[in-house]
Amino acid sequence: MKYKNEIEFELFGDYALFTDPLTKIGGEKLSYSVPTYQALKGIVESVYWKPTIMFVIDELRVMKPIQMESKGVRPIEYGGGNTLAHYTYLKDVHYQIRAHFEFNLNRPDLEFDRNEGKHYSILKRSLEAGGRRDIFLGARECQGYVAPCEFGSGEGFYDKQGQYHLGTMVHGFNYPDETGQNQLDVRLWSAVMENGYLRFPRPEECTMVRPIKEMEPKEFNPDSIQTAEQLLNDLGGE
């Protein structure tokens, strides 16, 4: 399905760490086999983000074989210490992503910034420039890179290889800013990759939702953010 305000891009890097929260106990970290919805949403928001819009990740395509590499890491301990932990990273990753944005209707206070065409123009320019902020593949030590592409183009490693059941994964988080509720939730889903493609359900379609804690939405107003018009003028647009 083709969406309005859609972008297609490739994402790649030497290492990635899309951490399974269950493996964080004891300082050990193990990456999921593929990026989570929330990780990809964060990456797109590093390309361009405004509280006025919400990104929806539609589809992921895995281009290279899933490989892992374990490393001994000494995490920074601000209270002192010299602990050795083992992190298991994804190695030599390359993906294609298809996503689009919608207006955040749970934020009527930001209605003044709902200029669809200008947000889309800035988003495309930002993608062509490699993002407005640094791209990290799940962890700060894993530098990533983005570039526009045609989703589905080229040859992928898992083409015509059928289904891979990836088990129950974290899908993402329900933040108060996006749901209109004073509650932080975590979403889970059963992921299945088919011929290298992973089609994500929308957040509201996830049936496995677990509450975490109460949380208030962030406050924004015309004095604290630049509008799309102001940003586009700063970029030399019309």
CATH number, domain with residue 17: 3.30.70.2660
Q: With respect to residue 169, please indicate whether it lies within any of the assigned structural domains.
A: no
**pTM recorded for the entire structure:** 0.89
Contact 51/110 with Cβ under 8 angstroms? Answer: yes
95-125 pLDDT, tens per residue? 999 999 999 998 888 888 899 998 999 999 9
* Domain count across the chain: 1
Instruction: Please check whether residue 211 lies inside any domain of the structure.
Output: no
81 assigned to some structural domain: yes
Indicate whether 198 belongs to any domain.
no
Band of pLDDT at residue 225, cut at 50, 70 and 90: confident
Question: Can you state the percent helix, strand and coil of the chain, rounding each to 5?
Answer: 20, 40, 40
pLDDT for 226: 74
Q: Which long-range contacts (CB under 8 A, 24 or more apart) does 167-173 make?
A: 167/191, 168/208, 169/20, 169/32, 169/36, 170/20, 170/21, 170/36, 170/38, 171/36, 171/37, 171/38, 171/200, 171/201, 171/203, 171/206, 172/36, 172/37, 172/38, 172/41, 172/203, 173/38, 173/212
Q: Domain for residue 1, yes or no?
A: no
pLDDT at 58: 97
Q: Is residue 47 part of a domain?
A: yes
Q: What is the pLDDT of residue 181?
A: 87
| pLDDT tens-digit series, residues 10-40 | 999 999 999 877 666 666 888 999 999 999 9
Whole-angstrom distance, CA of residue 177 vs CA of residue 224: 16
Average pLDDT over residues 198-226: 86
Asked whether residue 208 is assigned to any structural domain, the reply reads no
What is the residue range of 135's domain?
6-154
**pLDDT tens digits, one per residue of 136-179:** 999 999 999 999 999 999 999 999 999 999 999 999 999 998 88
Residue 143 located in a structural domain? yes
